[in-house]
Amino acid sequence: MATPRLPPLPSIRDLLRLYRLRAVQQLSQNFLLDAGVCARLARAAGPLRDAHVCEVGPGPGSVTRAILAQRPAGVTLVEKDTRFLPALLMLREAAQPCPVRIVAGDVLLYDMEAAFPVSPTPWEEPCTSAYILGNLPFSISTPLVVRWLRDVSRRQGAWKHGRVRMALTFQKEVAERLAAEAGGEQRCRLSVVAQAFCQVQHRFTLGGHVFTPRPDVDVGVVVLTPLREPRVDVPFETLEKVARGLFNMRQKSILRGTQTLYPEPVRRQLAADTLRLAELDPACRPFQLTVEEVGRLSRAYLDICSVHPQLAQYEYRVHGKHGGLDLAQGVSL
């Protein structure tokens, strides 16, 4: 089927020139001007025909054009930089009758539930016809995806609507980390928490040369599909805390990483207990663990904290190696 065309519009390059839109470094602005590349990104998560799409950071609208060319049912655009408003308003006009909603604001403050005017699809059913797409600003891509993974795990925000897929760009190394399997060199906290709640596919890589201005790094396009059943049975925060503890000591054994979950002087004993409960070999390295194994470790940590609830307050980053002694008081070994 031929790709439908929007009415004639100035080229994105002309728009940038017309409105003197120079990339702002703080907003990680690296524009995609090649229509073929934009179409590839727009198609990455699935067919958008009759779908509802929320695009984060549309900028002057090149990816938006590729989205609209697929004839979605509606589009929401969330853009922080108001200099792009005239270009986006022009695009909205050209897109009629497809409704295009423009949200001028920070996506970190935006309630993603409002992005989709669709009724919820039960979680067990196939993915919804709603998608989140974005050539994301590098400066916020990791905190944003961590926040969205937490929302997926709680089925809140955009995921109140059901299993909403995402196709997002990251620095290539971050994309590789998100998708890294157990045993891989890039395996890290992000791999574990992402794969616990989503199927993660590093679909393709875009060379830095396709962006204007050219970033110092290549860019990976990652598709995240929320899983019907998470691979762990612990809350997101617990999994994240345990994974952080492990990977803070990534070159050491998991015994050392697990010790960072507890204060002195109970650290060694409780870490050994946790690993025994989780049935894990203390000599393993963090990158060798599967998502399910980190889940078991997290469950064992929760079990120990349920006996001594004050232990859950211990944070290695906050209290340090020698702090939080008071939290260990009354813990009988």
Chain contacts with ligand SAM (rule: CB under 6 A) = 27-32, 56-59, 62-63, 78-81, 106-108, 135, 137, 140
The distance of closest approach from Cβ of residue 92 to ligand SAM in the complex, given in angstroms and rounded to an integer, is 15
Residue pair 285/250 in contact (Cβ under 8 Å)? The answer is yes
Residue pair 168/147 in contact (Cβ under 8 Å)? The answer is no
134 is in an annotated binding site: no
30 is in an annotated binding site: yes
User: Would you call 226 helix, strand, or coil by DSSP?
Assistant: strand
135 is in an annotated binding site: yes
Which C-beta is closer to ligand SAM: that of 81 or that of 176? 81
Q: How many CB atoms lie within 10 A of CB 180?
A: 21
The residue number whose beta carbon is nearest to ligand SAM equals 57
Residue pair 74/101 in contact (Cβ under 8 Å)? The answer is yes
Which C-beta is closer to ligand SAM: that of 28 or that of 70? 28
Which C-beta is closer to ligand SAM: that of 54 or that of 198? 54
Which C-beta is closer to ligand SAM: that of 40 or that of 308? 40
The distance of closest approach from Cβ of residue 57 to ligand SAM in the complex, given in angstroms and rounded to an integer, is 2
Q: Specify the DSSP class assigned to residue 78.
A: E
Q: 100-104 and 130-134 as β-strands: parallel, antiparallel, unpaired?
A: unpaired
Q: In the block, which residue shows the tokens 């295009």?
A: 100
Which C-beta is closer to ligand SAM: that of 153 or that of 169? 169
The distance of closest approach from Cβ of residue 146 to ligand SAM in the complex, given in angstroms and rounded to an integer, is 14
The distance of closest approach from Cβ of residue 38 to ligand SAM in the complex, given in angstroms and rounded to an integer, is 7
The tokens for 230 are 């998470």
User: Who contacts 132 (Cβ-Cβ below 8 Å, separation ≥6)?
Assistant: 53, 54, 55, 56, 112, 115, 148, 158, 164, 165, 166, 167, 168
Residue list, annotated binding site: 30, 32, 57, 79, 106, 135
- Residues comprising the binding site for S-adenosyl-L-methionine? 30, 32, 57, 79, 106, 135
